[in-house]
Structure 1
Amino acid sequence: MTKAIRIAETGGPEVMKLVDIEVGAPGPGEAQVRNHALGLNYIDTYYRSGLYPMPLPAGIGLEGAGVVTAVGAGVTEVKVGDRVAYCGGPVGAYAELRNMPAAVLVKLPKKVDFETAAAMMLKGLTVQYLFRRTYKLQKGQTILFHAAAGGVGLIAMQWAKALGVTVIGTAGSEEKAALAKKFGADHVILYRKENVPERVREITRGAMVPVVYDGVGKDTFQASIDSLQPFGLMVSFGNASGPVPPIPLTVLKGSLYLCRPGLMPHTAKRENLVEMAADLFRMVGSGKVKIEIDQRYALADVVKAHKDLESRKNTGSSILLP
C-alpha cells in the first residue's frame, strides 16, 4: 500500500483526499517510480476544477522526481536504480509510489537533486519550448512576459537574460516586481495599477514587442494584444486568471498572430523530450538558470498548497514532499 491523492469529483481544493492505494507490478512498457519530490503547478488546478476534463475517480499531478524501483517487460529507457524525473501525463504524480510509462522518464544528471528536478521540469521545459520552439528568441530582441515572478516567470527571466534578450515583465505587487528584477527582468510593469500597453510603448519608444508570452489569460489578454507590433505573435500559454473568452478574429488587427501552445504536444515524441530536457539541464548546470523553491508542502497538506497557489501569492516554484 502507498499514500496518494485522489479526487472523486471536480471542484475546490477540498475534493482532494489522501488515501491508501495498492500499486501492483509495472506492466509492459511501464516503470515503477518511488517519488522523492513532486511538482506543484497551476495546471494541476485545471484538472482538479474540471477545466481540463478527465475520467473520475482519478489521481492528480503531472510532475515528480524519484528512483526507479521496478520495470515492466520491454522497458529500455530506464533501469532499476536510475534517478529520474518527469513532467507529462498520465496524471497521478501526487503519490509516494506509482507506475507510469517509461518513455516519459528522463534520467537526472548527478548535479540535479530531486527537489530541484521536481521544481523545474514542467516549468523549465515550458520556457524551453516557448523560447526555442514556439518563437525562437534572438539576441537583442525585447519581449513582454506576464507573471514574471511566478515559477515559470523566474526561469524565463534568467533564460532570456542568458540569450541577450531584453525582458519587460509584469507583476501584481511591488514585492513581486522586485523579485522579477532580481532574476533578470529589465523592466517590470505593475499590471493592476499601470496601463500595460502604454508602458510598453514608453519602454520601447513606440516600437512595441514582437512577441508576448501570456500565462495569465483572461485578465491580460487584451493588454497583450495591444502591446504587439505589426506581425507580432501573441503566445497564450496559461489561464491563471481564468480562460480567455471567445474572441472575434478582428482582434488580431489584420496582421497579428495568435497561438495557444502546450507542453505535452512538444514532448509527445521521446526524442523531443530528451532533447528539450538536455537543453534545460545545460542551462541549469551552467548556472545561468537557478531554480528557486520558495514553498515546500507535505503531501498531506495538498489542500493548503492548492489554496496558496490559487491565491497567486506564491513566488518561484513550489513542491510537495511525499
Structure 2
Amino acid sequence: MVKALRVHELGGPEVLKWEDVEMGEPKEGEIRVKNKAIGINFIDVYFRKGVYKAPTMPFTPGVEAVGEVVAVGPGPTGRKVGDIVAYAGGPMGSYAEEQILPASKVVPVPPSIDPVIAASVMAKGMTAQFLLHRCFKVEKGHTILVHAAAGGVGSLLCQWANALGATVIGTVSTKEKAAQAKDDGCHHVILYTEEDFVSHVKEITSGNGVDVVYDSVGKDTFQGSLECLKIRGYMVSFGQSSGTPDPVPLSALAPKSLFLTRPSLMQYTITRDELLEAAGEVFASVASGVLKVRVNHTYPLSEAAKAHADLEGRKTSGSVVLIP
C-alpha cells in the first residue's frame, strides 16, 4: 500500500482525500516510480472541479512528477531500476507516493537538474515550448501579449520569448507579480486590476495590436484579447482560470482575419520523438540559463488541498511543487 490523494466527488480543495491505495506490479512496457517531486498544474484544479472529466471516479489527480524507477515490467522498456525519470501530460495519477507509468511516457532527467526543478518545469516548460515554437512561431520583431505573466507557464513564456527577440507585454494582478514579470523579461507590464489592458496594449503598439496573445485566463480576458490582435493575429487560448470563455461566432474573427486555436500539451507530444524533443529543449534551456525556474512554493504531498486553495486564491506565483 502507498499513500495517495483521491477524489471521490467533484468540488473544492476539501474533496482531496489522503488515503492508502493498492499499488500493483508493472506490466509489460510499464515501470513503477517512487516520486520525489510532483508538479501542480491548473489542469489538476479543472479535473477536481469537473471542468474536465476524469476517466474514472474516484481518481488520483496530477499529470506531472519526477521520481526514481523502483521496478521494471517485462519486455523492453529502455529504463532500469535507479533511473531518475520525469513525465508530464498523462496518464493522470501523480499525487501519490508511487505510481505505475508506461515507459514510453517518461523521459530521463539530466543529472545536472534537481528533481524539484524538473517536476516544476516539465509540463509548464513543454507547454511554453509548443506555444512559442509550434502553435505560433515567435521570432525576433514579433510583439506578444502574455496573460498571467507571473504564473507558472506565463513566467517561462516571458523569459523564452524575450530570449527569442520578441517584445513581451504581460498582464498581472499585483505590484509584486509585476516586479517578477519585469525580471522575467517583460518589456511592458500591465496591472489589469488597475487599468484596461486593451487600451494600454493599443497605446504600446501605436494602435497596431500584437502578433499573438497567449491567454490562460479565459472568460475575463478572452474578448479583450481578440481586440488586442493585429490583422491576421493569432489568439492562443490555452486555459481558463477565470472560467470558460463565452462562445465566439466565426464572424467575430472576420474583420481582422484572425486565427483562433485551443491547444493542449497532450496533442503536441503524441509521438515519442515529439515528447523527447520538447523535454530536451526545456531541459537544455534550463541548463543554459535561458529559463530561470521559480519554485516559489513547496507543500508536503499530504497538504495538496492547501496548495490548491492557494493556487485558486491567486496567492501563488511561479511553480508550485508537492513533496512526498
Structure 2 residue 172 is matched with structure 1 residue 171: yes
Paired position in structure 1 for 2:293: 291
Percent of paired sites with the same residue: 52
Paired position in structure 1 for 2:92: 91
Paired position in structure 1 for 2:275: 273
Q: Residue 3 of structure 1: CA displacement? A: 0.7
**CA distance in 2 between partners of 1:108 and 1:208 (Å):** 40
Q: CA RMSD in A?
A: 0.9
Q: Residue 193 of structure 1: CA displacement? A: 2.0
Paired position in structure 2 for 1:49: 49
**CA distance in 2 between partners of 1:234 and 1:88 (Å):** 23
**CA distance in 2 between partners of 1:192 and 1:134 (Å):** 29
The more displaced of 286-295 and 70-79 is: 70-79
Within-5 A mapping of 1:116-155: 116-155=117-156
Paired position in structure 2 for 1:232: 233
Structure 2 residue 8 is matched with structure 1 residue 8: yes
SS in 2 for 1:158: helix
Number of corresponding residues:
322
AA at the equivalent of 1:291: V
Q: Which of 257, 260, 268 is the aligned partner of 2:259?
A: 257
Contact residue 64 and residue 94 of structure 2 kept, 8 A: yes
Paired position in structure 2 for 1:67: 68
Paired position in structure 2 for 1:301: 303
Q: Residue 110 of structure 1: CA displacement? A: 1.0
Contact residue 222 and residue 245 of structure 2 kept, 8 A: yes
AA at the equivalent of 1:289: L
Contact residue 39 and residue 119 of structure 2 kept, 8 A: yes
Q: Residue 9 of structure 1: CA displacement? A: 1.2
- Report Cα offsets for 1:71-107 as digits up to 9, x if no partner: 1122323221111111121110000111011111000
* Unaligned segments of structure 1, at least 5 residues: none
Paired position in structure 1 for 2:24: 24
Q: Residue 253 of structure 1: CA displacement? A: 3.5
SS in 1 for 2:9: coil
SS in 2 for 1:213: strand
The more displaced of 246-255 and 123-132 is: 246-255
AA at the equivalent of 2:27: G
AA at the equivalent of 2:33: V
The more displaced of 239-248 and 220-229 is: 239-248
SS in 2 for 1:132: helix
Structure 2 residue 193 is matched with structure 1 residue 157: no
TM-score by length of 2: 0.97
Structure 2 residue 315 is matched with structure 1 residue 313: yes
Paired position in structure 1 for 2:77: 76
Contact residue 30 and residue 77 of structure 2 kept, 8 A: no
**CA distance in 2 between partners of 1:174 and 1:311 (Å):** 16
AA at the equivalent of 2:314: R
Q: Residue 177 of structure 1: CA displacement? A: 0.9
The more displaced of 251-260 and 305-314 is: 251-260
**CA distance in 2 between partners of 1:313 and 1:172 (Å):** 11
Structure 2 residue 179 is matched with structure 1 residue 184: no
Within-5 A mapping of 1:100-115: 100-115=101-116
**CA distance in 1 between partners of 2:277 and 2:249 (Å):** 37
SS in 1 for 2:33: strand
AA at the equivalent of 1:159: W
**CA distance in 1 between partners of 2:46 and 2:78 (Å):** 30
SS in 1 for 2:3: strand
Show structure 1 runs of 4+ deviating over 4 A. none
* Unaligned segments of structure 2, at least 5 residues: none
Paired position in structure 2 for 1:201: 202
Contact residue 124 and residue 280 of structure 1 kept, 8 A: yes
**CA distance in 2 between partners of 1:73 and 1:269 (Å):** 22
- Report Cα offsets for 1:217-246 as digits up to 9, x if no partner: 000001100000011010000011111122
**CA distance in 1 between partners of 2:147 and 2:243 (Å):** 14
**CA distance in 2 between partners of 1:231 and 1:107 (Å):** 39
Q: Residue 67 of structure 1: CA displacement? A: 0.6
TM-score by length of 1: 0.98
Contact residue 12 and residue 48 of structure 1 kept, 8 A: yes
AA at the equivalent of 1:193: E
AA at the equivalent of 2:46: Y
